[in-house]
Structure 1
Amino acid sequence: MKRLLLIDGSAYLFRAYHAMKAQGREFTAPDGFPTAALHVVLSMLKAHLKEQPDYLAFVVDASGPTFRDALDPQYKAHRPPMPDDLRAQVEPMMEIVQALGFPILRVPGVEADDVIGTLALRAAEAGMTVTISTGDKDFAQLVRPGVALVNTMTGSRMADDEAVMAKFGVRADQIVDLLALMGDSVDNIPGVEKCGPKTAAKWLGEYGNLDSVIVNADGFKGKLGENLRAALHRLPLNKQLTTIKTDVELDVGPADLALRERHVEDLRRLYARYGFNQALKELGGDPAGEAAAEAAADRAGLRSTAAGYARAATGSADEAPDPALSAKGDYDTVTTRAQLDAWVSKLDAADEFAFDTETDALDAMQANLVGLSFSTEPGNGCYIPVGHTYPGAPAQLPMAETLDALRPLLESAKHRKLGQHGKYDLHVLRRHGVDVAGYADDTMLESFIWNSSATRHDMDSLAKRYLGYDTIKFEDVAGKGAKQISFAEVAIDDAARYAAEDADITLRLHRVLSAKLATEPSLEKVYREIEVPLVPVLARMEANGILIDADELRRQSADLSRRMLAAQQKATELAGRTFNLDSPKQLQALLFDELKLPALVKTPTGQPSTNEEALEAIADQHELPRIILEYRGLAKLRSTYTDKLSEMVNPDTGRVHTSYHQAGAATGRLSSNDPNLQNIPIRTEDGRRIRKAFIAPPGRKLVACDYSQIELRIMAHLSEDAGLLRAFAAGADIHRATAAEVFGKPLDEVSGNERRAAKAINFGLMYGMSAFGLAKQLDIGRGEAQDYIALYFNRYPDVRDFMERTRKEAHERGYVETVFGRRLYLDNINARNQGLRAGAERAAINAPMQGTAADIIKRAMIAIDGWIADHADQAKMLLQVHDELVFECDADFVDTLIPEVKARMAAAAELRVPLVIDAGVGDNWDEAH
């Protein structure tokens, strides 16, 4: 039987480095270059070669974001940057691995785990024996017959469920659910608070899987039960993030991974360079002679030195940090009135200044101010503590006195302020009686507009990338985990270094990023005219919040519970016996063993699946799968929305305050959380009912204004297709008009099915739908679907030309642009992997339309906010969801509000087709929508 060895390369280098650090062992090359991690990895590789596997691969993470970053922008957001002495060893490691003859795999868009998972399953299915060399617990989910894990650094091995159970207390197929419940602080995946591996294993032993734990969460007692219910909204995403993909499109298969011939001369050179004398002897080389040759080559500039690797650690050559911007700062702690007055004078005299607030909580709508920090020039800053409460804290200036002294500056529009994610600070100061004006720059947004996918946009990541600067982390001053303290309890000296550095680094980053944006006028215009003006607009909307009808939510929860019970009873009747709808094992036995339904979808272990896809696939063969799907849908609505929303009401305002994120989606679309308004379902009656719980107070109304078919209109504008332009100009039903064109019929003869097909094509093309996808959506043959698409392009040839032109430009430039100049980079547009490349091409076509739609509604929000400021007592803007804006206003102001809002929404862009806005009014959001 052939054997495949898959080595988790990135993890081994990282673990080797930290293991050597923990032991206090330092190894260096003759010139001082760090080699401790290299020594461990080389020993591990040599051990694996002695095993003589038939096939093997060294798998490492590719640079750039992965699909998990798209699922959750906070994924791994808090992971500290790689230490310079470790980063320096990455490239030498890759050179050694390549010279040893190991095939190296790096696949953009996914992690090394996903590549290993895909190859492992393919090899096992082909009858190979697979060993995964790793120390990462996540890989336990892959253990099955033929697939084993080995930790070369510890010698441990897991080859079956019994071994997995002994280590984790659950089977291999439950590992993902275990990880979802526990969370992962290293990857910034928040799990159920206080739920460790033993608790998670206990729950899974009792309920079988995560879905069943979620559905039965109401029955969990005590504080852990409360913690579980508080985390329910997060758990499905956790499961997605921790599930290793096993269907990655790869250019190679297991049988392509034979060991290649060693490059002996390269090995000799590398071993000499890094001081691996024993390995060099095994090759028959002369350590002294090789080292001398190496030194000569370095002196001649023929090879990178340790200093060169250190430079590479901070970014690409065009991002080499200015030494003046990467030095440590000198900061003041302001505790007297004289110091405060001196800093007020300094701020008043400055052209611009950075500011930041420190608080005792993350929720800006409830956080208390602990201190403020300012900076007027790089390396310069101060911290003004006003709310440190620990025993023995030094005397601090009174908060009211401090804010009164700073208010004229902070509320002055002529004094330019800048921040990092400053919307939070605007909220905090507003709640403490200061309405900040003159907010002119935000480094998070500068980075996001410069390149939305180049890096994370938090301060620590930006400081490392653009300044080569390692910032003080919150955990450094407040601790971590259960022992973490509030910032109000942090010693003032420690707090001052941390907080003043934040303001200082913000100013330094602005100097770098603003200079970059100045080189690209179109990007700078998007930043100046759209993103920065939107910050205070969103802050006001978030502060406004929206009323929730708790009684309505309780009624809906009760109704959902009754219908869940009815579904359970119906399922029992259909099955002819009682069973647990939340138990995959019982469902498996009932559906596939007793009812003999076909198992069309399998789990990774080869068992019949009972997930949504599997049940949909057999729902036309028996009524029971449809009833189970109905039950699950009702349970999700109850746990995610009707039971949850009431818990999100702010006790001070009596309203729900969502939080909007500008630097999330690469297209520029806003996202929201707590609650996530973008995901409230509206395609089903039950989903739409949830909007009934968002209400207007007595004497007022909710008004919803929604762009009609905006992305289709943008496609017509960009493609300049005469047929589409004509249909929109005439105000026709675009889908009926498209059907008339495609099927060659008068408008009044178009059937309902033909209009439905045209609608599917109109929207599908924007998202790269294939003939296969269209056939599935319309329940027609693939050939017929292909004919529909061919007819469409025949009638709208400029749409096809636009799509081809966009693909070509994306391949040439590496990015596409919106109408307003927002740039959307496509990292995989020229990838060798066909799947990644095709995905990037689909994004290239859709991104200009989706991004332009995002820009348009942002421009409209800015214009409306300027007008509505003069009518603040009569109306306010509350929500933005997709292409819709929601307002609250006096009942007698509705007729004034709607035409003013519609006019500004229509004027937000000059397209070749008119922008049409639909408006509705009601006592709740559902009525207004």
Structure 2
Amino acid sequence: MTNASESLLKKRLVLIDGSSYLYRAFHALPPLTNDAGEPTGALFGVVNMLRATLKEQPDYVAFVVDAPGKTFRDDLYPDYKANRAAMPDDLRAQVLPMCEIVEALGITILREAGVEADDVIGTLAVDAAGNGIDVTISTGDKDFAQLVRPGITLVNTMSGSRMDSQASVIDKFGVRPEQIVDFLSLMGDSIDNVPGVDKCGPKTAAKWLGQYGTLDEVMARAGEVTGKIGENLRAALPRLPLNRTLVTIKTDLALDRAPTDLVLRARHVEDLRTLYARYGFKQALRELEGGAGAAGANDDRQGGGMRSTAAGYARAGAAPAAPVDAALSAPGEYETVLTQEQFDAWLARLQAADEFAFDTETDSLDPMQARIIGLSFSVEPGKAAYLPLAHDYPGTPTQLDREQALAALRPLFVDPAKKKLGQHGKYDLHVLRRHGIEVAGYADDTMLESFVLNATATRHDMDSLAKRYLGYETVKYEQVAGKGARQIPFSQVALDDATRYAAEDSDVTYRLHRALAPQLAAEPGLEMVYREIEMPLVQVLERIEANGVMIDAGELRRQSADLGKRMLAAQQKATEMAGRSFNLDSPKQLGALLFDELKLPALVKTPSGAPSTNEEALEAIAEQHELPRVILEYRGLAKLRSTYTDKLPEMVNPYTGRVHTSYHQAGAATGRLASSDPNLQNIPIRTDDGRRIRQAFVAPPGHRIVACDYSQIELRIMAHLSGDAGLLRAFESGADIHRATAAEVFGKAMEEVSGNERRAAKAINFGLMYGMGAFGLARQLGIARGEAQDYIALYFSRYPGVRDFMERTRQQAREQGYVETVFGRRLYLENIQARNQGLRAGAERAAINAPMQGTAADIIKRAMIDIDGWLRDQNQRAFMVMQVHDELVFEVEEGFVDTLLAEATGRMAAAARLRVPLVVDSGVGANWDEAH
């Protein structure tokens, strides 16, 4: 063994489960606060655990947390973690300071989109241990016991317990580390909403695995298990393979960090001093002051400062919040309206005001089913009222009649000259519409004011905005209604508490508008985006959501049954090909079968160099053996069934018989709309099975589905922004853009371009918009990296305007900290000046893509506003029912189809004036698939 290897064996990596740290500290410690009243209990616990960890002087260390958004597990099982309550507000308030302290301590924070923190930790741990680095995983999560092996130890910093051997895992759980996944699959996990075998606890699961060895064997011999528990086991058999996938920690992610990249950096003493003093951590501050002198000049850390990576309130390139106006942060005065005299006085105040803020309190988060419990109003900062209408706890004071009160308020809400203000008001517009009030004059929404000012500077919920722009701490729902199992419905909240909470909503909305409107007015381009795009779109989206879309539930159930049969057939076929049974959902078993037994080439590797079995890896070898293709087929069928065909029928609204999605304007920083419940953006279209799902989106009798879709809109925007003569010429001619590109790049006539050459040109056309380099192109086309680099160089030599545009955009982003769409929407790029090359490169890729994706988003929003205005005069002969990426979908009377097609495609094409024409493809059918 070399000296270098001997030295490496002495290195130690500590991987900290950040989410586990924070939640455990929050629930274990009392609700402490600092002198300013900010919650600090969880933060105090985390800081102490971090200090204890760092005293052991690890060579490498990372603090791993979950990235926002869904993971692959949510795709496999939409109800994954569905029963988890939202993070308590007192805990959420401590997340940002936690990240600030972690960064200031010199610890790298890791977040990986699409997976959980557990998977990042698992991948790094296995990689490091495989390279002779001793790994300590600092966590209280039992799932990590599956990773215990030589070189990987689990430490519960709070309790001091350790698991560092097979014996220690057996002592804790009664099974070996390699049986933990099967153990968890049988028991299920109530925290993650993974149902196991009913009544199967740890003792039963350990007993079965002790008797049969593996989950596969337990399933195969389930008939031998007697009694009620045996019946429960057999009933659970269909879902156990999915359980195993859900509880298995991935260890083969393609991460951009190696364990040896996680060197502990020098502390940033000044930042720590400020943070410890603010949150009252006196012992940590004394320890810091005692060691500050030794840190010396190394305290100016490399790799970017705290405020550019974690703080969020002063990000590099981010628009700073305006100084807080003291008048907007003072306590409010609120009134409970219980008498007709009080109500009449408030009606007079609302009628006399030019504008007023309002908010509804309801009995449901679903706006399509919620009933009004009360309303609040504000006409000036610091003054507001709550009108309770349906509180029903014992001893409730007499309230005004709901129907009569709403009838009295209706003229104010339907008056377009009376400006209404809201915070995420689309929900309230739905609720009022369902109670007979179609709001007009909805003029300002503070969520959207914040989003347009800077999409990435902060979250856009009221609590976050009040804290950032007003320096105001709002009353939280849990403070008046309780939390968890003890939470009561708002109708049972005492009126004094209800008024304090509800009236504050309208008051804070009014205050936020006073703070944000001048900032928008100072930026004419942003104000135009807000006034001409985002605000008019609110009521357009509300109408689309209310329209809903019909689905054929029977068709989806038939598809589910068919998918189930084909999944079983694929399992049987795979077993026959392998010559033995194996778990199709186990990467370990699959890897052993494909690469050890069948000797197929491992063309895609994990970061540790092990053969990968992800989708890309299986596609790479699918031409060499039929089994990988069968496994891919099985995975695709399972995802379609769990995500769509089983789920969509359950989402039909019982009152309308339709599915009503929810669109999110303040989601993607580029301005792209997102949707949820259901997520219409992810319904597949490239496969026959995916298209079958769209066949279940149907038109009622006498109507047709019409789909209108922008053709290659982002490429057209690229041509417009770059001004490249070649691209402009290709689009103006109406030629196949990818064939034209291939002809230009390879110096051929268009009719001579081969299929592979067109495919390469298409990959470059789309890849450049997303910052794809030679490595990505080589992987996509299955060619050598050098050949891919030659393609890109040749492309840029033929389209120099594109290369110049990309460089100009990078430079603009570096100088300004943001890039803009054609219509003036800004995307701030926090890492554009980062010292870390990976972060900086990611920001540069975003800088190039954002103007195109954001402009495409702006264009379809403008088209939606225009078409909606026209549709409202057409006597309900057509409805806009969906927006999906660059596509609008309509439900149209059969005799009105031609008119709708002409108007919709014409208005979409005219939604922007670019240097190249906007082209809209369209189709008509009895269902969504037929309309493509």
- Give, as a single letter, the amino acid of the residue that structure 1 aligns with 2:385: C
- Give, as a single letter, the amino acid of the residue that structure 2 aligns with 1:561: G
Question: Structure 1 CA distance, aligned partners of 2:845 and 2:288?
Answer: 53
How far off its partner does 1:108 sit?
Answer: 8.4
Identify which of 826, 829, 833 aligns with 1:830: 833
Superposed CA RMSD: 4.8
Number of the residue aligned with 1:131? 136
Number of the residue aligned with 2:3? none
Identify which of 784, 788, 791 aligns with 1:785: 788
CA gap 1:148/1:572 in 2 versus in 1, 3 angstroms? closer
Identify which of 628, 633, 641 aligns with 1:630: 633
How far off its partner does 1:529 sit?
Answer: 0.6
**Residues 1:414 and 2:417 are matched in the alignment:** yes
**Residues 1:253 and 2:256 are matched in the alignment:** no
Matches for 1:199-348 after TM superposition, within 5 Å: 248-250=255-257, 253=260, 257=264, 318-348=321-351
CA gap 1:600/1:201 in 2 versus in 1, 3 angstroms? farther
Matches for 1:100-111 after TM superposition, within 5 Å: 103-105=106-108
Identify which of 11, 14, 21 aligns with 1:6: 14
Question: Structure 2 CA distance, aligned partners of 1:637 and 1:595?
Answer: 29
How far off its partner does 1:590 sit?
Answer: 4.5
> SS at the partner of 1:927?
coil
User: Do 1:548 and 1:655's aligned partners in 2 also have CA atoms closer than 8 Å?
Assistant: yes
Question: Structure 2 CA distance, aligned partners of 1:536 and 1:761?
Answer: 39
How far off its partner does 1:135 sit?
Answer: 5.3
- Give, as a single letter, the amino acid of the residue that structure 2 aligns with 1:720: G
How far off its partner does 1:70 sit?
Answer: 10
CA gap 1:497/1:810 in 2 versus in 1, 3 angstroms? same
Identify which of 158, 173, 192 aligns with 2:163: 158
CA gap 1:841/1:887 in 2 versus in 1, 3 angstroms? same
How far off its partner does 1:860 sit?
Answer: 0.3
CA gap 1:621/1:890 in 2 versus in 1, 3 angstroms? same
Question: Structure 1 CA distance, aligned partners of 2:627 and 2:162?
Answer: 42
User: Do 2:707 and 2:888's aligned partners in 1 also have CA atoms closer than 8 Å?
Assistant: yes
> SS at the partner of 2:447?
helix
Question: Structure 2 CA distance, aligned partners of 1:366 and 1:765?
Answer: 45
Question: Structure 1 CA distance, aligned partners of 2:360 and 2:923?
Answer: 40
Number of the residue aligned with 1:497? 500
**Residues 1:423 and 2:404 are matched in the alignment:** no
Matches for 1:744-823 after TM superposition, within 5 Å: 744-823=747-826
Question: Structure 2 CA distance, aligned partners of 1:841 and 1:404?
Answer: 54
> SS at the partner of 1:880?
strand
Number of the residue aligned with 1:574? 577
Percent identity between the two aligned chains: 63
**Residues 1:906 and 2:912 are matched in the alignment:** no
Question: Structure 2 CA distance, aligned partners of 1:809 and 1:93?
Answer: 31
How far off its partner does 1:722 sit?
Answer: 0.8
**Residues 1:457 and 2:464 are matched in the alignment:** no
Number of the residue aligned with 2:30? 22
> SS at the partner of 1:363?
coil
User: Do 2:606 and 2:612's aligned partners in 1 also have CA atoms closer than 8 Å?
Assistant: yes
Identify which of 670, 675, 680 aligns with 2:678: 675
User: Do 2:269 and 2:288's aligned partners in 1 also have CA atoms closer than 8 Å?
Assistant: no
Point out the more displaced range, 714-723 or 553-562.
Answer: 553-562
Question: Structure 2 CA distance, aligned partners of 1:472 and 1:32?
Answer: 13
Question: Structure 1 CA distance, aligned partners of 2:198 and 2:825?
Answer: 44
**Residues 1:723 and 2:726 are matched in the alignment:** yes
How far off its partner does 1:180 sit?
Answer: 14
CA gap 1:589/1:91 in 2 versus in 1, 3 angstroms? closer
Question: Structure 1 CA distance, aligned partners of 2:713 and 2:327?
Answer: 47
Point out the more displaced range, 863-872 or 159-168.
Answer: 159-168
> SS at the partner of 1:564?
helix
Number of the residue aligned with 1:80? 89
Number of the residue aligned with 1:215? none
User: Do 1:180 and 1:191's aligned partners in 2 also have CA atoms closer than 8 Å?
Assistant: no
Question: Structure 2 CA distance, aligned partners of 1:275 and 1:696?
Answer: 67
How far off its partner does 1:129 sit?
Answer: 1.9
Tell me how many residue pairs correspond in the alignment. 868
How far off its partner does 1:442 sit?
Answer: 0.8
CA gap 1:619/1:857 in 2 versus in 1, 3 angstroms? same
Question: Structure 1 CA distance, aligned partners of 2:454 and 2:285?
Answer: 46
> SS at the partner of 2:706?
strand
Question: Structure 1 CA distance, aligned partners of 2:514 and 2:186?
Answer: 42
Matches for 1:516-527 after TM superposition, within 5 Å: 516-527=519-530
How far off its partner does 1:884 sit?
Answer: 0.7
CA gap 1:666/1:607 in 2 versus in 1, 3 angstroms? same
**Residues 1:847 and 2:850 are matched in the alignment:** yes
Point out the more displaced range, 32-41 or 419-428.
Answer: 32-41
CA gap 1:84/1:806 in 2 versus in 1, 3 angstroms? closer
Question: Structure 2 CA distance, aligned partners of 1:27 and 1:480?
Answer: 23
Point out the more displaced range, 677-686 or 607-616.
Answer: 607-616
CA gap 1:203/1:837 in 2 versus in 1, 3 angstroms? farther
Question: Structure 2 CA distance, aligned partners of 1:398 and 1:501?
Answer: 23
CA gap 1:322/1:81 in 2 versus in 1, 3 angstroms? farther
CA gap 1:104/1:785 in 2 versus in 1, 3 angstroms? closer
How far off its partner does 1:906 sit?
Answer: 1.3
Question: Structure 2 CA distance, aligned partners of 1:734 and 1:153?
Answer: 60
> SS at the partner of 2:670?
coil
- Give, as a single letter, the amino acid of the residue that structure 1 aligns with 2:398: A
Identify which of 646, 665, 670 aligns with 2:668: 665
CA gap 1:581/1:256 in 2 versus in 1, 3 angstroms? closer
Number of the residue aligned with 1:861? 864
Question: Structure 2 CA distance, aligned partners of 1:223 and 1:380?
Answer: 60
Point out the more displaced range, 880-889 or 728-737.
Answer: 728-737
Point out the more displaced range, 7-16 or 872-881.
Answer: 7-16
Point out the more displaced range, 159-168 or 561-570.
Answer: 159-168
User: Do 2:244 and 2:585's aligned partners in 1 also have CA atoms closer than 8 Å?
Assistant: no
Number of the residue aligned with 1:303? none
CA gap 1:501/1:243 in 2 versus in 1, 3 angstroms? farther
User: Do 2:144 and 2:154's aligned partners in 1 also have CA atoms closer than 8 Å?
Assistant: yes
**Residues 1:362 and 2:365 are matched in the alignment:** yes
Unaligned runs of 5+ in 2: 1-8, 75-81, 220-228, 293-310
Deviation readout 1:413-439 (Å, 9 max, x if unpaired): 111111111111111110111101110
Point out the more displaced range, 751-760 or 587-596.
Answer: 587-596
Matches for 1:414-563 after TM superposition, within 5 Å: 414-563=417-566
CA gap 1:191/1:823 in 2 versus in 1, 3 angstroms? farther
Point out the more displaced range, 570-579 or 582-591.
Answer: 582-591
Deviation readout 1:670-721 (Å, 9 max, x if unpaired): 1111211111111111111111111111111111111111111101100001
- Give, as a single letter, the amino acid of the residue that structure 2 aligns with 1:148: T
How far off its partner does 1:583 sit?
Answer: 5.6
Deviation readout 1:579-602 (Å, 9 max, x if unpaired): 554566664564455545456667
How far off its partner does 1:399 sit?
Answer: 1.2
- Give, as a single letter, the amino acid of the residue that structure 1 aligns with 2:151: G
